[in-house]
Structure 1
Amino acid sequence: MARVSCPNCEAKAIVTSREKQTNGVSHLYCSCTNSKECGATFRVTQSFDHYLNPPVRDTQDLAASLLKSLSKEQQLELIGIS
């Protein structure tokens, strides 16, 4: 889980609610935990950028699709049975 910091005092902040805008973009409503000296409430926009590693299921589907495009002989050769 990502940590949210207050933009004013840089103390830890708590996410109080989340409002989904689109797939991959949300507004996070936050409260600063430094209530004695700051106490700010603010909104952060969170967005998905890209995968560093694709989900396992996507990788499996891609591999299966590539295997299906090969002839039976090529498939057997690939797994070492020829």
Structure 2
Amino acid sequence: MARITCPNCEAKATITSRETQSAHVVNLYCSRTNTNEYGATCRITQSFDHFLNPPFRTIAQLAASLIKNLPREE
């Protein structure tokens, strides 16, 4: 689980809303937990970068595709 912190003071912040930009990018609108005293709100952009370990199904599909495309002799 991700922990959202204030970029200014690094205290805990709460996601108040989100706006999807694309399938892999979302803007998170956040506010500090004690906005009465501090008043800070911010927008954090979250994006997908890459898999560290691809899903098992993807690996199996890739292997099947490679085997299917091998010459008959191999």
Bucket of the pairwise TM-score, normalised by the shorter protein? 0.7 to 0.9
What is residue 4 of structure 1 aligned with on the other side?
4
Q: C-alpha separation between the residues in 2 aligned to 1:38 and 1:10?
A: 12
User: How high is the TM-score relative to the length of structure 2?
Assistant: 0.81
Unaligned runs of 5+ in 1: 75-82
Give the gaps of 5 or more residues in structure 2: none
Encode CA deviations 1:7-48: one digit per residue, 9 max, x unaligned: 222111111111111121110011111335413111111111
Q: Distance in 2 between matches of 1:43 and 1:33?
A: 15
2:30 — aligned with what? 30
Q: CA RMSD in A?
A: 1.9
Q: Larger C-alpha radius of gyration, 1 or 2?
A: 1
Task: Give secondary structure in 1 for the equivalent of 2:58.
Answer: helix
Question: Among the aligned pairs, what percent are the same residue?
Answer: 64
Task: Provide the residue aligned with 1:54 in structure 2.
Answer: 54
Task: Please say if residues 30 and 44 of structure 1, whose CA atoms lie closer than 8 Å, have aligned partners that are also in contact.
Answer: yes
TM-score, L = length of structure 1: 0.74
Rounded to whole Å, the distance in 1 between the matches of 2:13 and 2:40 is: 9
Q: How many residues align?
A: 74
